[in-house]
Amino acid sequence: MAQTESPQPILSIRRLKKHFGHIEVLHAIDLDVQEGEVVAIIGASGSGKSTLLRCVNWLESPTDGEICFRGTLVSAANATTVRREIGMVFQRFNLFPHLSAVDNITLAPQRVLGQSGKESLTAALELLERVHLSDKAYSFPGELSGGQQQRLAIARALAMRPSLMLFDEPTSALDPELVGEVLEVMRSLAQEGRTMLVATHEMGFARDVADRVIFLEAGGIVEQGPPEQVLVNPRQERTREFLARVLDR
């Protein structure tokens, strides 16, 4: 029987390195992400999780290695074009404080995608309903809780109709009681088949939602696999030590 070829990954990373001066933050990262896959990246603060995501989105230019998105090699020359298809949600929301929720969402689709005001407004209101913020359409970020601001940031990223969503520790800046409302939205995106690369400290989310978990330390991948393997029965001693600390087990 002929073997069926695996589909081309939506994201393919080879030998990715990133240095800040003499400090090597990422070391020879190899990673493929398939369309529709949810990949959770775990690791201690400073392990390189955020830098990896920022290199994928070319907010940081790699020192060495290759990043291919949908079969296209990403470079400084085409990064702006590629970035239109990659949504990113940051730790600190990065909303425009002088714009209402609706205007935060409609700005990029109008300026980058050329959507009309009516088209972008209709889409924005639908997205606000999707993230349970319909009643906050004309509120400003300063009038919203941290959880509401992060849900607005997710809606803003979705407005560009991205093929890949990057989440850079999206709950780390939130009070504990607000974490659940953001994770609920992220779970719903995963259930819809969204391709997601998520740097997170939320082990429950990684266990329940991710298709694959990657443990990153000192800029390198120590272990990766299904959640039930990496989080429940890790093969590497370093992974076991990390989980023992974060899970108190």
Are the C-beta atoms of 189 and 165 separated by less than 8 Å? yes
Mean pLDDT over the full length of the chain:
93
Q: Tell me the mean pLDDT in the region 45-49.
A: 93
Residue 94 has pLDDT above 60, yes or no: yes
Query: What pLDDT, on the 0 to 100 scale, is given for residue 247?
Result: 78
Higher pLDDT, 78 or 2: 78
pTM: 0.92
Residue 2 has pLDDT above 50, yes or no: no
Query: What pLDDT, on the 0 to 100 scale, is given for residue 176?
Result: 86
Query: What pLDDT, on the 0 to 100 scale, is given for residue 4?
Result: 47
Q: Tell me the mean pLDDT in the region 76-101.
A: 94
Q: Tell me the mean pLDDT in the region 115-128.
A: 95
Query: What pLDDT, on the 0 to 100 scale, is given for residue 27?
Result: 93
144-184 confidence digits (pLDDT tens): 999 999 999 999 999 999 999 999 999 988 888 889 999 99
* pLDDT band with cut points at 50, 70 and 90 for residue 198: very high
137-155 confidence digits (pLDDT tens): 999 999 999 999 999 999 9
User: Which residues make Cβ contacts (< 8 Å) with residue 88, sequence separation at least 6?
Assistant: 53, 57, 59, 157, 165, 166, 167, 168
* pLDDT band with cut points at 50, 70 and 90 for residue 3: very low
Residue 41 has pLDDT above 90, yes or no: yes
Six-digit token pair at 155? 């809606």
